Structure 1
């Protein structure tokens, strides 16, 4: 079932009112920040006035959000499904993905493959962070082999040639990857 125009319109109005309240802004505060009269903003929130694109853009900016976030459909799939890659020994759940060169991706990964050898290390600009949820991750950073156990975390410059894998059985991690790390470790995500 798709969301009708009336439903989306009502949802956008609820989001505006909800964000305004969450930020502790009065109608007057938001109206001043958007250069809209308080009475016009009130009629927008209550559905008694149509919202123009320029008003919606100004409201989004004043609320510290994006136009996309205000008009996003509520019908989006909320279930995060794993992507199995048996040939790589990895299963990935992409929890959050921000596209573009400055974006980051948060992913849970189940690693079953051992750490690649010294000849298979990769380097790229940026930093990576991960915390081990279960098992032990073997992190190869240049000449060093570091064991990161359950409950521990690692942060490192990805300019150092690196790779990671499971140590003595499967391991799970929660990682934050920048643009280049996402392409190297997660693969097949939209840019």
Structure 2
């Protein structure tokens, strides 16, 4: 009887180890998919506006609504940014980003923990990029405060967004990630956040 009990415990232990190994492998594969999203997101942002703009999108407010002023009435800096947002190069990176965001979501499927840790942050960042991209193609798409804030955040809060990605990329992508962030003090931002991790060790 004791032998069967020991065998049972052995089988359970082996099953736990196998599940742990597969879980780690699953998360590692997921991080590689986040790498693809991060690379496209950073290249898109770096091309659109290497530094946060000094000027803001000019809008008219009425009755709680938002309406951007016509392109010719926008600040020159914003007009240049919008022009780059309509370019072939920007479209190329945007499509890569869109595909990578979908790949992350498919990988997580119904796993609640992974969805919270990976899918939701990636989808939030993609929404910001989507809102900017839509606005670059048609300013009238920025028709409420939520979209205006998303448009602004994409351009002005890049350090914050890049910190979100830093925590989710793979260790193998660290060097390339840093190369795409030369204008941003990620290490300084980590110290401010006082979080117990340096560059990704995953």
Structure with higher Rg: it is: 1
Per the normalisation by structure 2, the TM-score is 0.25
More helix by share: 2
Question: Of the two structures, which has the highest relative contact order with CA contacts closer than 8 Å and spacing of 6 or more?
Answer: 2
Per the normalisation by structure 1, the TM-score is 0.26
More strand by share: 1
